Amino acid sequence: MTVAELPLPEGYRLVALERVGSTNDEAKTLARGGAAAGTLVWAKEQTAGRGRRGRLWLSPPGNLYLSLIVRPGGAPAEAAQLGFVAALGLGEALLEVAGPALPLAYKWPNDVLVGSRKLAGILLESETGGRGAVDFVIIGIGVNLASKPENVEFPATSLALEGFADIAPVVLLRAFVQHFDVWAARWRQDGFAPVRSAWLGRAGGLGDDIRVRLGRATLCGRFLDLDADGALVLDAAGARRRIAAGDVFPPLG
């Protein structure tokens, strides 16, 4: 499938690039210039890709690097739910291209795992307007198709390593946009509840002991639930803790 042959749902427009510093940065520039919701920035390679908290995201050719402009309006806390919407869209796209036997799981707040290894990351970046409402959200997607990063804190994998070689980035791009569009429409119509339910159905570590890094502090406890806003609910030493932002890791030992 070539870019020219790529079927996209109505309202989506693809900006295809060979090489870029960061697809998220390119998408932000377009959004600030008035680009419509549904604008997609796709690059075959990034030279300055990044993940959450500014971490380097190695971006050699062969993997998928994609950023989508969304203009949901509303409050920033509600717009943050788009991370879960994107995870569902990406998860269903991966199951479509690799098959239903793929052992897929969602890692709070923004990763997609195969088994216990990270296959994909999702990065949300937003800007607000004059009255505090969200002007736009950039949903950045990075998927390890052909290769994975080495020497990373959380173990990584790729579809090729999992036995699914030769899946072209453009094929996964098409599938992601189609599945994301369905989930985004459902989120707009029915709210976060169905998104939360579907995400929990494949939540990695649910009911298990985990570590949650909060800046300089780390909490250990059992992953109990996802609350109605998307925060992680942790049982830490018998006390329920609601965590809105953090990084999750397996327990030590």
> Residue 59's closest CA among 177, 147, 163?
147
Class of domain 209-249: mainly beta
Render pLDDT for 93-123 as a digit per residue (tens, 0 to 9).
999 999 999 999 999 998 999 988 999 999 9
Matching CATH topology for 13-200 and 209-249? no
* Sequence ranges of the domains in the chain: 13-200, 209-249
* Residue range 8-32: mean pLDDT, rounded: 94
Task: Give 56's pLDDT tier (boundaries 50, 70, 90).
Answer: low
State the pLDDT at residue 196. 97
Q: What is the overall mean pLDDT for the chain?
A: 90
Task: Give 49's pLDDT tier (boundaries 50, 70, 90).
Answer: low
State the pLDDT at residue 214. 86
Sheet strands side by side (includes 39-46):
13-20, 39-46, 64-70, 134-143, 117-128, 111-114, 104-107
Residue 76 has pLDDT above 90, yes or no: no
Position of tokens 């796709």?
42
Residue 94 in contact with residue 112, Cβ under 8 Å?
yes
Task: Give 50's pLDDT tier (boundaries 50, 70, 90).
Answer: low
CATH number given to 13-200: 3.30.930.10
Task: Give 33's pLDDT tier (boundaries 50, 70, 90).
Answer: very high
